[in-house]
Amino acid sequence: MVEICLAFQRNILKEEVRSLIHTHKRLSVDEKLERIFFLHADLDGLYHLLFKAIFEIKIRYPDAYAIVLEYRSWLVEEVYQLLLVAHANASKVDAEMFLFVVDGAVVELLGGCGVDIF
């Protein structure tokens, strides 16, 4: 059941991210990244369950944990490809930093703090 829930959340998130990147042609790369950030830094959103799973299921549900890791790797690759559109010298580390910022925002929100990205 845990795997099914995480796979469902992952699939919907992937579709949302793909939609932001590929169907919103009028948005700049920065606007797309901002929307991807807020899609993930929402405690009522789909990423919250995947984020919690990082800490709560690794040992007990390794197959479900693998779903989370796969999503995170996929997201880093998508963000990296998006960054390359605007910055030819972007690196995968830049995309990983984006995910770290998202995760940091979620931690802050879970701690009852607001998130100020500007």
Amino acid at 77: E
pLDDT in tens, 39-82: 999 999 999 989 988 888 888 888 999 999 999 999 999 999 99
45 occurs within a structural domain: yes
67 occurs within a structural domain: yes
- 117 band by pLDDT with thresholds 50, 70 and 90: low
115 occurs within a structural domain: no
State the burial class of residue 38 (Cβ atoms within 10 Å of its Cβ: 0-12, 13-18, 19+). middle
**Domain count for the chain:** 1
What pLDDT sits at residue 42? 92
117 occurs within a structural domain: no
Domain that holds residue 67: 2-110
116 occurs within a structural domain: no
61 occurs within a structural domain: yes
13 occurs within a structural domain: yes
